Each structure stands twice: as C-alpha cells, then as structure tokens.
Amino acid sequence: MIVLWIILGGLLILLFSPLCVTIIYQESFCAKLRFLFLTYTLSPENAKEKNDQKEKAAKKPKEKKEDTDFQKDQSQWKKLFKERGLGGMIDLVKKFMEQVTPPIKKLLTHFLIKKLICEVSVSTEDAAETAILYGQACAVIYPAVAMLTEAAKFYQFTVSVAPDFDKKKSSVNFELKFHVLTIWLLTAAVQTLFRFIKFRKMEKI
C-alpha cells in the first residue's frame, strides 16, 4: 500500500510540475527547457552536432525495412496528391488545422507567459520589396500575438514591427519565457491525437 502511495505521489508531482521554456532569437536561435531539476539547452552548436551524427548515420547502409516503409509513405502521399490535386491538398491542410486548433487554443489558456519581446525591423535593398515584406510580416506576427494575448496569461510583452528604409538587412529581437503544467501538455497531446485519428478516418488517408 505504501508503494502505491509513493507511485501515486510521484505521478502527481510529474503531472503538476511546470515545464519552463525560454526561447531567444537575435543573431542566432537558442532554447532552454527546464523540468524539475533537469535542464536541456538547444542551440546551433547542438543542432550542428546532431546534423553531423545524422550525416554519419546516412553513410551507413540502411536496413531494407526502413527503405520499404519510406517508399510506402512516399507513394501514399504521391497517390493522394494525384487524386486530389493541389487544391485538394490545400483543402486537406485547412481541414486538418480546423481539427487540431481547438485543443491548441485550450492549451494556450494554461500558458503563463512571463515575458514576450518581439521586435522586428524589416529592411531590404529595395524600398518596394521592404514595403511588401513589412505587410507580410504584420499579417503573420500580429494575428499570432493576438491569439496568444487572448488565451494566455501575460506578465510582460512588447511587440513591434516596423519598416526601415535606411538599412539593407532585416533584424529580429525575439524572447519568450513561459511555463505550463505537464498535465495540460499531455491532455492537449491526447486530444490532438484522437482528432488526428478521426481526421484520417474522415478523409480516408
């Protein structure tokens, strides 16, 4: 009985412990994940090391089963594209997004965002191109931030997108710090999985 209580207590600690995430992008990308006493940092150096390992693994002969599975998946998507065409595939993506958006939005309500800084300066060598790129950046960034601010709880946030016709290169200053309980991540993952299975059955994929 004592063992069961210990196991239950351990599960409760894991489920109700926050996952703390820090994402920074300036000249390069860096992300840090912290859960209980464990910390993992993702940086360009780590990514480069993983790519080197993948290249070494790619040089080794692959198993026949892996090749067969890859060819099967590839042929399935080719067949789907041939049957539905580009318009059908775009419609398929829209329907998929409609299925997975509700659990993601619900997950965002459990986010506690301690800090959000998104400062984008849009610049190119051509003024007309700068204006077009500025419009595209606004169309992506502001709706995404609006969705976050409507759903999540904020302590501090600063968002600005501006064109700079004097410079020739765009710059980004992005920093995001938030935490969320593990139980909400698992709940969203399970809901998304069930919706994905339902989506595949509906679309016969």
**pTM to 2 decimals?**
0.65
Q: Rg of the chain over CA atoms, in angstroms?
A: 22
Query: Which residue in 149, 137, 174 sits closest to 31, CA to CA?
Result: 174
Is 146:188 a contact under the CB 8 Å cutoff? no
Each residue's pLDDT, cut to its tens digit, for the chain (205 residues) gives: 788 888 888 888 888 889 999 988 887 788 899 988 888 888 766 655 555 665 665 555 555 555 565 555 556 666 666 676 656 666 777 777 778 788 888 888 888 888 888 888 888 888 888 888 888 888 888 888 887 878 888 777 888 888 888 888 888 888 889 999 999 989 988 988 888 888 778 777 6
CA distance 45 to 22: 17
